[in-house]
Amino acid sequence: MKLIRTLGLGAAVAALALTATTAVSFAQTRIAVVAKDIGNGFFVAAGKGAEEAAEELGDVEIIFTGPTEPTAEGQIEVINTLVAQQVDAIVISANDPDALVPSLQKAQQRGITVVSFDSGVAPEGRDVQLDPSSIDLIGKTIVKLAADHLPNGEGKIAFLSGTATATNQNAWLAAAKEHYDEFPGVEVVATVYGDDLFDKSYREAQGLISSYPDLAAISAPTSVGIVAAAQAVEDAGLIGKINVTGLGLPSEMAAHVKSGASQSFAIWNPIDLGYSATMIAYHLLKGDVTAEPGAEIPIGRVGTITLDDNNSAAMSDPFTYDASNIDDFSSIF
């Protein structure tokens, strides 16, 4: 039997204390899924995937929680509460790869399994890292999607990322640089950070538009930033002049694809990501597998991953969404 709770930071501290006794009676295994911030649509979808895994496994309770804003400090408070409540596993997307390590090491010392997903935790603070896709392929994708719709394949593009400390986004941007020479007509003029906050991302997009009057594309490898950039382009009356692309959720990008602000974008399935990370945590807890290089871990309907030398693995390739398929997926996530 499973029991699912969704908790904001304030509610998490109080509610976990109130329900600790009763939770154990409802489920044998408690897996906490910690989002970067509780209101982010990407992580809400990941939470749904975790719920799906719990339903399939049968003896799992999912506690979906996170801070109200995407900060390391907020996640540390949530982690410390979960450690005090002795959950069995923490599945987390990190706002900072290093700042969370001491709290997560405390969790590991208490016998709590730690799986990071999406934005990773430094190896010393987790057992396994699940990347949504290959870092190299994502890096190439966020450049290619911008290049695909440039007039004659030439023009200036800028990146609007999340936080400056986000492990995954920084790795993707670094990988993107390795593919610049494959798109000789592309000139990357700036990289800015919106901290995965809509208002700040919107202002950063406005700044790019103002600073580079001949800007042809904004590529945002963040589901918050891509929506904010598309809105900024629409509000500036620049549809058809600046194309917005990157990584986003179909449900949040459908209107912007239909408006023409975005010709195409990509993402893996966050539902599958939450599902897969939960499966990894469960099999580690049950002793079916060991977190060591070369280990093969089943992730249910998604397949199997093989851990590399850093106990990391990639789930799947990103998928491109455009006007031809956006309606098929926007109602799903």
Q: Which CATH number is 303's domain given? A: 3.40.50.2300
Range in 11-15, 59-63, 115-119, 194-198 with the lowest mean pLDDT: 11-15
Question: Is residue 331 domain-resident?
Answer: no
Residues 261 and 276 placed together within one structural domain of the fold: no
Number of domains into which the chain is organized:
2
Position 316 confidence tier, pLDDT thresholds 50, 70, 90: confident
- Which one has a higher pLDDT value, 3 or 223? 223
276-289 pLDDT, tens digit each: 999 999 999 999 99
Question: Is residue 155 domain-resident?
Answer: yes
Position 139 confidence tier, pLDDT thresholds 50, 70, 90: very high
pTM score of the predicted model: 0.81
Does the pLDDT of residue 102 top 60, yes or no? yes
pLDDT at 18: 37
Q: What is the residue-averaged pLDDT of the chain?
A: 92
DSSP assignment of 15-53, as one string? Answer: HHHHHHHHHHHH-SEEEEEE-SSTT-HHHHHHHHHHHHH
Structural domain of 30:
4-132+270-316
Residues 8 and 124 placed together within one structural domain of the fold: yes
43-67 pLDDT, tens digit each: 999 999 999 999 999 999 999 999 9
Residues 161 and 249 placed together within one structural domain of the fold: yes
Question: Is residue 327 domain-resident?
Answer: no
Question: Is residue 101 domain-resident?
Answer: yes
Residues 25 and 122 placed together within one structural domain of the fold: yes
Question: Is residue 104 domain-resident?
Answer: yes
Cβ neighbours of 173 (radius 10 Å): 20
pLDDT at 8: 53
Question: Is residue 325 domain-resident?
Answer: no
DSSP 315: -
Residues 178 and 89 placed together within one structural domain of the fold: no
Residues 235 and 280 placed together within one structural domain of the fold: no
Taking 3-state DSSP, the helix, strand and coil percentages for the chain, each rounded to the nearest 5, stand at 45, 20, 30
pLDDT at 112: 98
The Cα–Cα gap between 177 and 257 comes to 26
Does the pLDDT of residue 73 top 50, yes or no? yes
Residues 187 and 110 placed together within one structural domain of the fold: no
Residue 214 structure tokens? 């001949």
Residues 231 and 274 placed together within one structural domain of the fold: no
Residues 146 and 121 placed together within one structural domain of the fold: no
CB 179 within 8 A of CB 143: yes
Mean pLDDT confidence for 302-320: 95
pLDDT at 20: 40
Question: Is residue 329 domain-resident?
Answer: no
Position 14 confidence tier, pLDDT thresholds 50, 70, 90: very low
Question: Is residue 326 domain-resident?
Answer: no
Position 11 confidence tier, pLDDT thresholds 50, 70, 90: very low
Does the pLDDT of residue 19 top 50, yes or no? no
Residues 228 and 168 placed together within one structural domain of the fold: yes
CB 70 within 8 A of CB 95: yes
